[in-house]
Structure 1
Amino acid sequence: MMKKVLASGLSLVVAASVMAGCTKPKDEEKVLNVQFVPSQSAETLEAKAKPLEKMLGDKLGMKVKVSVSTDYPTIIEAMASKKVDVGFLPPSAYVLAKEKKAADVILQSLRYGVNEKDGSPTKDKVEYYKAQYVVKADSPIKSLADLKGKKIAFQNVTSSAGYVWPAVELKEAGVDPLKDVKPITLKGHDQALLSVLNGDVDAAATFQDARNTLKKEHPDIFAKTKVIYVTKPIPNDTVAVRPDIDPELKNKVTQAFLDLSNDPKAVEVFRSIYTHEGYVKTDDSKFESVREYETKAKKD
């Protein structure tokens, strides 16, 4: 009798172990890893992005983990190695990720347009933005040609507004962004602007009008700086997923962001992270201009 009880108990233990082994991968699959790249201090960005874990998780009915990458190449590699499921990628980084078969675009962000006279937002939500060159208000620099020989703060070379568009259009104006100026690479458009204010650089390439991100800490930033050039339009940032993500989950993620775009509290979070005002569906064809600029940038 004792043998039967022991055998029965052992069978239950084995069965429980097998069941636990079977359910564990499913539990792991229920975690959606979402990652951002810094457009400001990484610590500040992560704190601002954290509320999205619950908001997105509630919509999807699954656990969401939000993190911040160190730079664009890192998040692309993480998506390629399946460590990140959803990435917030600027257009140039998205195109590179697409080439590496690491990402498929599902959404494009909306932003308010920028009034070029004073940097204030317009009432229209648009699917593009622009880049700009900023210098001190009393600087003798007035045009792209005047940047020759000057020290310029750029972002990573994959940054659309922080490098690609400004560099390509600087080259088209007859000034080589590598040979004719003194380029330095900084992390964060806010850091580039602070470098201008502090006199560490002569100019900074940023998104238009990044000065608003520093307005609280530096109320006089608009008075102390000026924009000398604005680029052609750049397609807005993307929300992309890894190509092998479950199609059903892909659709759910897409719809979740569209739903959150109509939630004022969620939009407040998007706005604090990247000045996004919501999202619309998009496809890869919208990013052909990005590929054109990327080709020009690589030639340079």
Structure 2
Amino acid sequence: MKNLWGIILVLCSMAASCAFAKDEDLPKQITVGLIATTTAEDTEKRWQPVIDDFARYTRTEVHVVVSTDYNKILAGLKSNAIQVAWLGNKAALDAVEDQHATIFAQMVKIDGSHGYNSVLIVPVASPIKSLADILANKGVYRFYDGDKGSTSGYLVPAYYAFAKNKVEPERLFKQITVGNHKKNLQAVIDGQVDVATNNTDELDRLKKEAPEQFNKIRVIWTSPLISNDPLLYRKDLPAAAKARIEEFFITYGKPKDPASHPDVLQNILNLSGFQHSTDAQLKPIADIAMFGLLRSNMYDASLSTEQKQKAFEEITARFGKLSATLEMARLR
């Protein structure tokens, strides 16, 4: 019995030491990067209550960087100016491939859905009734595309709407403008463009907050389901910091967490909270990205046969390595 109590005392001492080390290892400051799908000001306002709770939970000074430019958030993660970030799946894939960041959580919608959809929208009075109408009228319509870092604004429609129909947007539309979800919505509402990319999350928010504006648009194409957006942190954060960050987000908004408010999450993107996730959720996005690059390479008239073959080998090698990394994440 005496030996047993000795062992217990040692274990308790170790646990206390670990707890102390956990707090000591937390960084004094964390910067969170947020991609703005509307405006930077609007996004920061919606997220600020969560950021405030995050700072209290981690007992750390928390700063926020909000941008409509995916590359700015990615560069911040790479340079360690940003340690935690919300990104779409396509931008998250770039961050994971750079090997500086990894996914630890995924957004969960209030209705329990596991994803959202990319859409093509037109003004409600437009004669365009379907994607087929656009494909049959090359050089006629004006198009608002999304940032190339956007999953639903660019990558998914580029693959499912255009590549699978064996057409390049540059050869299909009379004019292409690159915007974001907010700008694309407004351009369609104002009748400044014939068709634009967007997603069901933004349309649901518009319907709830500005139904009169929502009634000015119409969806003519909807993609297959896209996994909900992930949260990432830098790989080189101390283990204690990673654990505390995960604890906060995974428990935030849950009934047992009296410090958080469900209405705060609903105000972001109609969320109920976050669930654990890994880089493995990016596998379908990686497959689409690889297909897009291979197709562009194949149809690039400026390249010789030898150059195309070399590019093909480089692309397949690159994504073979990335695919292996994503599959290994399933074991985490």
**What amino acid sits opposite 1:65 in the alignment?**
H
- Separation of aligned partners in 1, 2:25 and 2:185: 44
SS in 2 for 1:125: coil
Q: Provide the residue aligned with 1:134 in structure 2.
A: 121
SS in 1 for 2:280: helix
Cα gap change, 1:132 to 1:53, in 2 (>3 Å):
same
Post-superposition offset of 1:296: 2.4
1:255 and 2:253 are equivalent in the alignment: no
- Separation of aligned partners in 2, 1:186 and 1:206: 10
- Separation of aligned partners in 2, 1:41 and 1:132: 20
Q: Provide the residue aligned with 1:180 in structure 2.
A: 172
- Separation of aligned partners in 1, 2:93 and 2:208: 34
- Separation of aligned partners in 2, 1:219 and 1:154: 23
Equivalent runs, 1:100-249 vs 2, <5 Å: 100-112=98-110, 124-147=111-134, 148-149=138-139, 150-171=141-162, 172-181=164-173, 182-187=175-180, 189-215=181-207, 218-249=210-241
1:63 and 2:50 are equivalent in the alignment: no
Deviations 1:82-124 (A, max 9, x none): 1111010110000011111121000011124xxxxxxxxxxx3
Task: Provide the TM-score with structure 1 as the length reference.
Answer: 0.81
Post-superposition offset of 1:202: 0.5
Q: Provide the residue aligned with 2:322 in structure 1.
A: none
The answer to whether the 8 Å contact 2:108/2:274 transfers is yes
Equivalent runs, 1:275-286 vs 2, <5 Å: 275-286=270-281
Post-superposition offset of 1:28: 9.9
Equivalent runs, 1:262-281 vs 2, <5 Å: 262=254, 263=257, 265-281=260-276
Segment of structure 1 superposing worse, 64-73 or 246-255: 64-73
Equivalent runs, 1:32-111 vs 2, <5 Å: 32-111=30-109
The answer to whether the 8 Å contact 1:132/1:209 transfers is no
SS in 1 for 2:122: strand
- Separation of aligned partners in 1, 2:81 and 2:182: 29
The answer to whether the 8 Å contact 2:120/2:220 transfers is yes
The answer to whether the 8 Å contact 2:201/2:269 transfers is no
Post-superposition offset of 1:217: 6.4
Q: Provide the residue aligned with 1:291 in structure 2.
A: 286
More helix by share: 2
- Separation of aligned partners in 2, 1:244 and 1:209: 32
**What amino acid sits opposite 2:129 in the alignment?**
K
Deviations 1:162-201 (A, max 9, x none): 11111111221243222212321113x1221110111111
Runs of 5+ unmatched residues, structure 1? 1-25, 113-123
Post-superposition offset of 1:214: 3.0
SS in 2 for 1:175: coil
Between Structure 1 and Structure 2, how many residues are aligned?
263
- Separation of aligned partners in 2, 1:276 and 1:83: 27
Task: Provide the TM-score with structure 2 as the length reference.
Answer: 0.73
Post-superposition offset of 1:220: 2.3
**What amino acid sits opposite 2:69 in the alignment?**
D
RMSD: 2.2
Post-superposition offset of 1:61: 2.1
Cα gap change, 1:64 to 1:151, in 2 (>3 Å):
same
- Separation of aligned partners in 2, 1:104 and 1:27: 20
Cα gap change, 1:169 to 1:27, in 2 (>3 Å):
closer
Runs of 5+ unmatched residues, structure 2? 1-23, 297-332
The answer to whether the 8 Å contact 1:190/1:213 transfers is no
SS in 2 for 1:170: helix
Post-superposition offset of 1:52: 2.4
- Separation of aligned partners in 1, 2:201 and 2:85: 24
The answer to whether the 8 Å contact 1:53/1:63 transfers is no
- Separation of aligned partners in 2, 1:269 and 1:67: 19
